[in-house]
Amino acid sequence: MKKKVKKVGSILISLGVGGIGGYFGGYLIAKNNLDLSVLDILIFVFALIITYILQIIIHETGHGVFGKITGYKMVSYRIFSFMWVWQPNGRIAFRRFNVPGTLGQCLMAPPTYEKGKFPFRLYLLGGVLANAFASGLVWTLFGFHSLIAVAFIVTGLFTVLTNAIPMGFNDGMSVKTAISSEEQQYLLYLQFEVNALLNQGFSYIELPKTYFELVPAIPKQTYSNDYQQFLKIARFSEELDWKSLNEALESLWLRKDELISIYQIEVKKEMIFSLAITKPGDSRLTELWFDKKVQLSLKQPLMGNKRIEATYYYFVENDVKTALDCLKKGKSFVNKAPNLGDAKAELTLNDWLYTEILDNNKN
């Protein structure tokens, strides 16, 4: 019930922000006595779309700039599914990667963690600050005498409010969560640090063991605590420790409705993988496999998705050919993995499953 109330609240906030933005735009047009033709309206709508994309770019760039100022280093920069990754060899690689619920992301490696001194506010709020500055600059230079300027200001206001007001797992919520306790600040650091290490080529079993020691849910369980659970799941998978993997997933499954949307999809996908291996007759498998959101997520060209599909086809459907085809396709995605560490972990699982299938199907 609490989850539904929060979801409805987020929707109402979004609608309210959208309504304010629309009213603001209409007010500015009316105040300046702009007599708009059909063409003008079409131009304004088109300008809203284009300037919103610009605001997303500005927002993610703001994270990068303010992150750099506070000691962070660039790891990856993504707009929609277009992603640029800073590799250990100094080159920047292009990837296609989509994260449901986000239109962009600027991930950076954090400075060394010091208790009580971890800088996170400017990095997290850098996007909002950049949007506010850019919109204020356009307001100062052009006022409201240009439809394009009005569109830019309206989309800027919308971007600022939807990211600053704590809801879902946006910037405002991340700041609110991090300031609630030292434990939550450390978990935030851990997410940034693990992503940076994976980008350098460390796989999950090569990360420090202390990263997998669960941090107390103080003052309450948050999506940062849940992230650490998924970190453990990734390690158990790479270790081929199916018993521990099952236990960790079942624990998350019991509270799946409390997870943020992206984690709900991930726990369902990994449940398919785990159950197919250990309990192929589990009644949940059919429901999980035909879940529309799961199937949509599995369409992304990622090694992990092909690994999950191959496991289902082999252990549940007994379709050896399709399973092997999935593994072969998955291996071709190695250069499309979001980072080198993920690629290494997925190759381990791909090779294990490939060997398992061949050993059990010798003529």
Rounded to 5°, the CA angle 252-304-228 comes to 35
Instruction: Summarize the confidence of residues 342-356 as an average pLDDT.
Output: 97
Q: Does 338 score more than 90 pLDDT?
A: no
Eight-class DSSP state of 336: G
Question: 348-354 long-range CB contacts below 8 Å, 24 or more apart?
Answer: 348/203, 348/238, 348/240, 349/237, 349/238, 349/240, 349/307, 350/303, 350/306, 350/307, 352/240, 353/307, 353/310, 353/311, 353/314, 353/323, 353/327, 354/324, 354/327
Residue 2: its pLDDT value, please?
Answer: 46
Q: Give residue 23's pLDDT band: very low, low, confident or very high (50, 70, 90).
A: low
Q: Does 297 score more than 90 pLDDT?
A: yes
Length of the chain as a residue count:
363
Within the chain, residue ranges assigned H as helices are 2-31, 38-69, 121-142, 147-164, 171-178, 182-200, 223-238, 242-253, 261-278, 284-289, 292-298, 303-311, 320-331, 340-359
For 225-277, write each residue's pLDDT tens digit.
999 999 999 999 999 999 999 999 999 999 999 999 999 999 999 999 999 99
Q: Who's near 192: CB < 8 A, 6+ residues apart?
A: 72, 107, 108, 109, 110
Residue 80: its pLDDT value, please?
Answer: 95
- Alpha carbons 347 and 334: distance in angstroms, whole number: 8
Average pLDDT of the residues of the chain: 91
Residue 145: its pLDDT value, please?
Answer: 82
Residue 30: its pLDDT value, please?
Answer: 55
First to last CA, the chain: 55
Higher-confidence residue of 90 and 40: namely 90
Contact by Cβ (8 Å): 224, 111: no
- Alpha carbons 34 and 311: distance in angstroms, whole number: 61
Q: Does 6 score more than 50 pLDDT?
A: no
For 153-212, write each residue's pLDDT tens digit.
999 999 999 999 999 889 999 999 999 999 999 999 999 999 999 999 999 999 999 999
- The encoded tokens of residue 330 equal 């998955």
For 138-170, write each residue's pLDDT tens digit.
999 998 888 899 999 999 999 999 999 999 889
